[in-house]
Amino acid sequence: MNNRLGNIFTVTSFGESHGKAIGAVIDGMPAGVPINIDEVQIWVNQRKTGQQIYTSARTEADEVQIISGVKNGISLGTPIAIIIENKDAKSADYNALENVYRPNHADYTTEVKYGIRDHNGGGRSSIRITAAMVAAGAIAYTALQQLIPSISVLSYVQAIGKVGMDTEQLITYSKNEIFTASNRCPVPLINRQMDELIKETQLQKNTLGGKIYTQINNLPAGIGEPIFNKLQAVLAHAMLSINTVKAFEYGSGKQASEQTGQQHNDAFELKNNIVSTTTNNSGGIQGGISNGMPIYFTTAFKPISSIGLEQHTLNQKGDNIAISIAGRHDVCAVPRAIPIVNAYTAIVLLDMVLQNRISRI
Amino acid sequence: MNNRLGNIFTVTSFGESHGKAIGAVIDGMPAGVPINIDEVQIWVNQRKTGQQIYTSARTEADEVQIISGVKNGISLGTPIAIIIENKDAKSADYNALENVYRPNHADYTTEVKYGIRDHNGGGRSSIRITAAMVAAGAIAYTALQQLIPSISVLSYVQAIGKVGMDTEQLITYSKNEIFTASNRCPVPLINRQMDELIKETQLQKNTLGGKIYTQINNLPAGIGEPIFNKLQAVLAHAMLSINTVKAFEYGSGKQASEQTGQQHNDAFELKNNIVSTTTNNSGGIQGGISNGMPIYFTTAFKPISSIGLEQHTLNQKGDNIAISIAGRHDVCAVPRAIPIVNAYTAIVLLDMVLQNRISRI
Amino acid sequence: MNNRLGNIFTVTSFGESHGKAIGAVIDGMPAGVPINIDEVQIWVNQRKTGQQIYTSARTEADEVQIISGVKNGISLGTPIAIIIENKDAKSADYNALENVYRPNHADYTTEVKYGIRDHNGGGRSSIRITAAMVAAGAIAYTALQQLIPSISVLSYVQAIGKVGMDTEQLITYSKNEIFTASNRCPVPLINRQMDELIKETQLQKNTLGGKIYTQINNLPAGIGEPIFNKLQAVLAHAMLSINTVKAFEYGSGKQASEQTGQQHNDAFELKNNIVSTTTNNSGGIQGGISNGMPIYFTTAFKPISSIGLEQHTLNQKGDNIAISIAGRHDVCAVPRAIPIVNAYTAIVLLDMVLQNRISRI
Amino acid sequence: MNNRLGNIFTVTSFGESHGKAIGAVIDGMPAGVPINIDEVQIWVNQRKTGQQIYTSARTEADEVQIISGVKNGISLGTPIAIIIENKDAKSADYNALENVYRPNHADYTTEVKYGIRDHNGGGRSSIRITAAMVAAGAIAYTALQQLIPSISVLSYVQAIGKVGMDTEQLITYSKNEIFTASNRCPVPLINRQMDELIKETQLQKNTLGGKIYTQINNLPAGIGEPIFNKLQAVLAHAMLSINTVKAFEYGSGKQASEQTGQQHNDAFELKNNIVSTTTNNSGGIQGGISNGMPIYFTTAFKPISSIGLEQHTLNQKGDNIAISIAGRHDVCAVPRAIPIVNAYTAIVLLDMVLQNRISRI
């Protein structure tokens, strides 16, 4: 169950970075949802390398195959299995690392836990395995839109390293504004500054982290399952499951701790006869349940651990050694994490929306 | 299952703030653990009001009763049911609020979701119901210490409003230093400044939030269950389940997003023949699994929503109304949240430590 | 999770036979269900001793207390905790048995498993702990009837020892016919023969088993969750969870193995414009999903293990000893198991009916 | 979660009979287990057609592919995905059945539940999808044998139709005695009588059911998780999940209901200094926990529903129609169910054995 996301709409992940394939199985898919494989492929492609100016050289076709659960483009209500073959798996690149504990990777902890590890491409701890989860998320999103046609989940890169958007710039942007930007930052000037920063950091053989801002519009009030599957708690769980995420905050977030009650409280009012709030420090969630206002949260990513610069570390025998990690690695993975954040959010939302069907007799 | 914390060591919560009692049932308790009811009571008392200078006037005995699962002070391996009666439940205080949506409370969302709500004391959305979870957490902590005698989970108040400790002050303090401080801040000067701030805010009929810093020492390497029950993910889930938490970060946290790979990476080294890292930006977790270094995280709390100042809001009919919330309310709940954070952390850790028993044949 | 019945409508059991209380927590109760505590008490009373001619002398009030989740007689959608205090727990009766392994009891296996056991009244392995589950089942049944007003779950005693009803007598009887019979067998002649058999067996200090026949009428087609929560599989799981059940069969059951396909198959036909089958060897379930026909199954119970006759066994030290179990014990527990079978069936059905809400978009 | 078997060692099934492939994902596999793909293939082959004298003409290679979770023949502790391609899927055979409800199939109930169904080969309700579960069971069995080298799970055909073994013949047979018999009945005379019966029934275009007897030797005492995952309850759940199973009984089974306590009780005694029982009506399970004696149970299967004889039924429009099912179908599927019963038993046992690791501190 540890490789499963969701409670009643569940997605179980499988696969290693350099094994035969990676994949996911959806159990709990409602019947009757039109599944557009092209749309699913678009989501998966958004996660691929080669879209930024300086990216990892691994070029995977990442072709999504749906093995079961769909007939004539409609979900059957049975499990949907998704397979993505690993075709460009150059294990030879990793031979030198077989006995080395790369700093800030999962090499050492995996070995301690399981007594065995697949060192090729990081095995199971590689970000690559999220590709199949992204496909599952695309399917979840389709189902969500069937249920709530006006819903949208939009994420964009708020910051890369120290280059980032101001708080007042954190508004709703169009999908187009986001995905035409090389770094998925919808403010062109800042996106260009990010390009510069990445270029410079690449020359230094160094890497960068960043932040992603996510906004959910038009989720109806009433979604979320207190007291241990509050909407913010399951979102945080999902986000902290992404490999390099170090922090999650929703609504006014960390800053809320410095506000007084008077500053923070969102007054209720009727807007077009709908219960709304004048401000939205709550981030659209009260008591773990959506209140109908936009939901927003920020996820912070650490820099990529594989740097070209020399680092000191240990090997299995306990010898001090120096390594410089060659291989195929990005400078900054944050833009590629956009579809992952969207996918995990869609999975969580669909799970919560379906669960809400049983909250009343 | 939505009122359950944990996967194989599970705690299910029940009870409303002003019902007959609140409680919790532990399912998955290993047999053979000595349970000291006095120690459990100490944890629960740490959550009670009346310990800070200006606190809620609700005075509950909060006497913990263990109904099952323990015989002659030893756990039987059967479910442990915990009951805490509600004795000082003054529902009359809440009559005026029956049809009102208090700002930033769960009143409106609960009503939308369930079509019915218990307005007394916030019903199920009250922080009061965590008392029984704290008792369960104390029991989990006892089991943890049986398994790992040197382990410790220590939390303290890092900040109240804008008054807080500096980063370099975030170190290990003794239980005594923490619990003798009125605000659970172990730096006396800052604790006194917090007293001042609370006093002042109380006069303004306003409220405050803050931050709690938690450190886990001596958890062995190998604990955590990728890829969806990574240690940081289950900790985040647990923390975001606490009523007023708005943000979670671990290790270098949000700040990691501004570091380069070179700045962030923690070099491995042998220290007393144990694999360690020179720095600890990882916060003791790599790839979702503990690496043997101290684990640390920060949880940010919004200010209490019930303020004495006049606020504008709606009632059930949709009328604009003005309210000033009287009742019995704290100025700042953060110090009282220390045992909750500790309890949820202990539950999560025991669950993960037990699960690790099945990671190898 | 091992003390939990149900997947999304879940009931977690707690308590030992001679502890302070036994109980159950419902998590997943839909909001808006009227809960009639008197009706719940009726179900629990049906499980009490003292209703047959020769029964256990333990006289428990078995007063059901609902601690949470209900306000003004309506379910809130929050967990419902049920408590039944143990008032007539005469632990002294069991002192002689502290170190003895009673034949066919759970004494030996409990001790091997947990290394500790509560010998009083069988501790957790006592049938007594089902009382709180029966209360939960009564609540589940109320919810079921809200959803499907015409539904009925009726169980009766089909056989005690070798005295039983013929196959053609296995039809629908009224609640009244069942509960006015001392042995819950609705055919008066057979019920009297059962009385005779019990009387005779009591004089021999011996005990009896029997069979219960259960029929579910008016469950709509479409209920059941293949392929691992097929309706028959979850019913079997629930029935085999009852302490002394040794066998479960549904539809034509064990006998189906001797039929040919031609004999067994149920032809489809339209009856009053409803899809029906001419025969019902399927027992109302096809492919794990209800087909709208009556569902029926039989559960076989072994005789009570505590007999007054002398038996040979071992004590903890491994000594061969002879025991005759005094205490308060029934001759035949099967009639008292009727509400347990009904309760577990209701819990399973409600769980399945609610899950079916998410089978389609 | 409805397509998952197991609680902490879990196997999730996917695939339709005539889709691209069927498969299963193991989540919770302990690391360090040697996986022999040839041995896995042997189990899967035991389920294939063409081994009895008169069997279905579908000839699938059923080649098992392990996609993940194993490296150099050793389990990594990560999910193991199993794929078996569908190569001989002749959907054309089923075109005539697209709108017909075959008697005693899942056609009608699937359509009612999901509003859509894959009629080819029965889609998800086909017994074919158990092939991948059998592969998972073979892996579970390997892990079990690593933990308990002397353990064995042996099943054989006890009866086909009315031709069956006597009670005293239900003893332990060797794997060889079982698998060299065309009908998996280890008593040659009875196996030959079964051949005769099948031959005769085939000529009549009719079908047969039967019974499988399963015995588990050398499971240590202490395995099973009361009160809702008792060993017999999870075994029953697993067995009733097999497509055509109608009844489950363990130990003295249904017959126990006719015994007195004195007849049924198994006296404890020391045998070679091991706690044993003189008789074994308990079937090796007491209080839901294994007691170290052999565990045995019987599973009854209905006849195959697809018969060549003319039957009356309905189509989607509600017209009365007559059908004779051609296609490729067995006369009796019971012998082919042996590996399914073994596989599900192995999955349940490994799950329970692993869970027992956390029953004590």
pLDDT of residue D43: 96
Which residues of chain C does A77 touch, with a Cβ-Cβ cutoff of 8 Å? 359-360
Measure in Å the smallest separation between the Cα of C222 and chain D Cα atoms: 4
How far apart CA D331 and CA D329 sit, in angstroms, is 7
Which residue in D284, D297, D306, D292 sits closest to D341, CA to CA? D297
Detail the DSSP E strand segments found in chain A. 4-5, 10-15, 21-27, 64-66, 70-71, 74-75, 80-85, 152-160, 163-164, 210-217, 245-250, 268-271, 274-277, 285-286, 289-290, 295-301, 311-314, 320-323
Measure in Å the smallest separation between the Cα of D357 and chain B Cα atoms: 7
Cβ neighbors of B198 (< 8 A, separation 6 or more) are B52, B53, B54, B160, B183, B208, B331, B332
- Predicted confidence band of residue A124 (pLDDT cuts 50, 70, 90): very high
Measure in Å the smallest separation between the Cα of A260 and chain B Cα atoms: 5
Of A8, A144, A361, which to mutate for an interface test with C (greatest number of C Cβ within 10 Å)?
Answer: A361
When pLDDT is averaged across residues B342-347 and rounded to a whole number, the result is: 98
pLDDT of residue B187: 97
Partners of D100 in beta bridges: D315
B23 to each of B60, B86, C80, D228, how far by Cα in Å?
Answer: 14, 10, 11, 22
Q: In this complex, which of B227, B245, B258 lies closest to A3 when CB atoms are compared?
A: B227
Do B361 and D28 count as a contact with CB atoms less than 8 A apart? no
| Amino acid in the structure at residue C132 | A
- pLDDT value at C217 more than 70: yes
ipTM given for this complex? 0.96
Four-CA torsion D147, D150, D155, D158, nearest 10 degrees: -150
Q: In this complex, which of B77, B143, B360 lies closest to D359 when CB atoms are compared?
A: B77
Map chain D to HEC letters.
CCCEECCCCEEEEEECCCCCEEEEEEECCCECCECCHHHHHHHHHHHCCCCCCCCCCCCCCCCEEECCCEECCEECCCCEEEEEECCCCCHHHHHHHCCECCCCCCHHHHHHHHCCCCCHHHHHHCHHHHHHHHHHHHHHHHHHHHHCCCCEEEEEEEEECCEECCHHHCCCCCHHHHHCCCCCCCCHHHHHHHHHHHHHHHHCCCCECEEEEEEEECCCCCCCECCCECHHHHHHHHHHCCCCEEEEEECCHHHHHHCEHHHHCCCEEEECCEEEECCCCCCCEECCEECCCCEEEEEEECCCCCCCCCEEEEECCCCEEEECCCCCCCCECCHHHHHHHHHHHHHHHHHHHHHHHHCEC
With both helix axes pointing from N to C terminus, report the angle between C338-355 and C37-46 in degrees, rounded to the nearest 10.
130
Q: pLDDT per residue over B250-291, tens digit each?
A: 999 999 999 999 999 999 999 999 999 999 999 999 999 999
When pLDDT is averaged across residues B119-143 and rounded to a whole number, the result is: 93
pLDDT of residue C87: 85
- Predicted confidence band of residue B61 (pLDDT cuts 50, 70, 90): confident
Which residues of chain D does B33 touch, with a Cβ-Cβ cutoff of 8 Å? 361
Percent of chain C past pLDDT 90, that is, above it, reads 88
Closest chain D residue to the Cα of A72, Cα to Cα: D118
Do B16 and C123 count as a contact with CB atoms less than 8 A apart? no
- pLDDT value at A328 more than 80: no
**Mean pLDDT estimate for chain C:** 93
pLDDT of residue A121: 77
Map chain C to HEC letters.
CCCEECCCCEEEEEECCCCCEEEEEEECCCECCECCHHHHHHHHHHCCCCCCCCCCCCCCCCCEEECCCEECCEECCCCEEEEEECCCCCHHHHHHHCCECCCCCCHHHHHHHHCCCCCHHHHHHCHHHHHHHHHHHHHHHHHHHHHCCCCEEEEEEEEECCEECCHHHCCCCCHHHHHCCCCCCCCHHHHHHHHHHHHHHHHCCCCECEEEEEEEECCCCCCCECCCECHHHHHHHHHHCCCCEEEEEECCHHHHHHCEHHHHCCCEEEECCEEEECCCCCCCEECCEECCCCEEEEEEECCCCCCCCCEEEEECCCCEEEECCCCCCCCECCHHHHHHHHHHHHHHHHHHHHHHHHCEC
Measure in Å the smallest separation between the Cα of A7 and chain C Cα atoms: 9
Do D103 and C265 count as a contact with CB atoms less than 8 A apart? yes
When pLDDT is averaged across residues A169-195 and rounded to a whole number, the result is: 96
The number of CA neighbours under 13 Å toward the Cβ of A78 is 29
Q: Which residues of chain D have pLDDT under 70?
A: 49-59, 89-94, 326-328
When pLDDT is averaged across residues A285-301 and rounded to a whole number, the result is: 98
- Predicted confidence band of residue A73 (pLDDT cuts 50, 70, 90): very high
Q: Which of A312-316, C34-38, D49-53, D60-64 has the lowest mean pLDDT?
A: D49-53
How far apart CA A264 and CA B208 sit, in angstroms, is 10
pLDDT of residue B96: 75
- Predicted confidence band of residue B93 (pLDDT cuts 50, 70, 90): low
How far apart CA C70 and CA B16 sit, in angstroms, is 9
Which residues of chain D does A77 touch, with a Cβ-Cβ cutoff of 8 Å? 113-114, 116
Cβ neighbors of A25 (< 8 A, separation 6 or more) are A11, A12, A14, A79, A80, A81, A82, D12, D14, D25
Measure in Å the smallest separation between the Cα of C350 and chain A Cα atoms: 11
3-state secondary structure of A278: coil
- pTM reported for the whole predicted model: 0.97
Closest chain B residue to the Cα of D357, Cα to Cα: B357
When pLDDT is averaged across residues B223-247 and rounded to a whole number, the result is: 98
Please give the residue that has the higher pLDDT: either A214 or C119: A214
Measure in Å the smallest separation between the Cα of B302 and chain C Cα atoms: 25
Residue C34, Cβ neighbours under 10 Å: how many?
14
Do C250 and D252 count as a contact with CB atoms less than 8 A apart? no
Q: Which of the 8 DSSP states describes residue B199?
A: H
- pLDDT value at B326 more than 80: no
- pLDDT value at A313 more than 90: yes
- pLDDT value at A12 more than 80: yes
Q: In this complex, which of A9, A143, A361 lies closest to C146 when CB atoms are compared?
A: A361
- pLDDT value at C71 more than 70: yes
Do B356 and A113 count as a contact with CB atoms less than 8 A apart? yes
Q: In this complex, which of C8, C30, C143 lies closest to A8 when CB atoms are compared?
A: C8
- pLDDT value at B239 more than 70: yes
pLDDT of residue C48: 82
Percent of chain A past pLDDT 70, that is, above it, reads 94
Please give the residue that has the higher pLDDT: either D6 or A325: D6
Contact partners for chain D, using 3 or more CB pairs closer than 8 A, are A, B, C
Which residue in C290, C296, C148 sits closest to C222, CA to CA? C290
- pLDDT value at A56 more than 60: no
Tokens 């070179």, residue? Answer: B262
Which residue in D216, D337, D342 sits closest to D284, CA to CA? D216
Q: Which of A90-99, A134-143, D98-107, D207-216 has the lowest mean pLDDT?
A: A90-99
Do B354 and D354 count as a contact with CB atoms less than 8 A apart? no
pLDDT of residue A52: 56
Which residue in D325, D356, D353, D348 sits closest to D133, CA to CA? D348
Q: In this complex, which of A30, A147, A361 lies closest to C147 when CB atoms are compared?
A: A361
Contact A285, A293 (CB under 8 A): no
Q: Is A166 exposed, middle or buried (0-12, 13-18, 19+ CB in 10 A)?
A: exposed
Which residues of chain A does D15 touch, with a Cβ-Cβ cutoff of 8 Å? 67-68, 79, 81
Do B208 and A360 count as a contact with CB atoms less than 8 A apart? no
Q: Which of A76-85, B237-246, C122-131 has the lowest mean pLDDT?
A: C122-131
Contact partners for chain B, using 3 or more CB pairs closer than 8 A, are A, C, D
Residue pairs spanning B and C at CB distance below 8 A: 139
- Predicted confidence band of residue B89 (pLDDT cuts 50, 70, 90): low
Do A307 and B208 count as a contact with CB atoms less than 8 A apart? no
pLDDT of residue C93: 63
How far apart CA A245 and CA B297 sit, in angstroms, is 13
How far apart CA D343 and CA D350 sit, in angstroms, is 11
Q: Is B310 exposed, middle or buried (0-12, 13-18, 19+ CB in 10 A)?
A: exposed
pLDDT of residue D89: 64
Cβ neighbors of C278 (< 8 A, separation 6 or more) are C266, C267, C269
pLDDT of residue A305: 94
How far apart CA C177 and CA B125 sit, in angstroms, is 46
Q: In this complex, which of B2, B15, B80 lies closest to C81 when CB atoms are compared?
A: B15
- Predicted confidence band of residue C95 (pLDDT cuts 50, 70, 90): confident
Do D361 and B30 count as a contact with CB atoms less than 8 A apart? yes
Do B14 and C114 count as a contact with CB atoms less than 8 A apart? no
- pLDDT value at C55 more than 80: no
Closest chain A residue to the Cα of C142, Cα to Cα: A361
Which residue in A152, A206, D292 sits closest to C109, CA to CA? D292
Which residues of chain C does A361 touch, with a Cβ-Cβ cutoff of 8 Å? 30-33, 75, 143, 146-147
How far apart CA D229 and CA D352 sit, in angstroms, is 9
Do D358 and B32 count as a contact with CB atoms less than 8 A apart? no
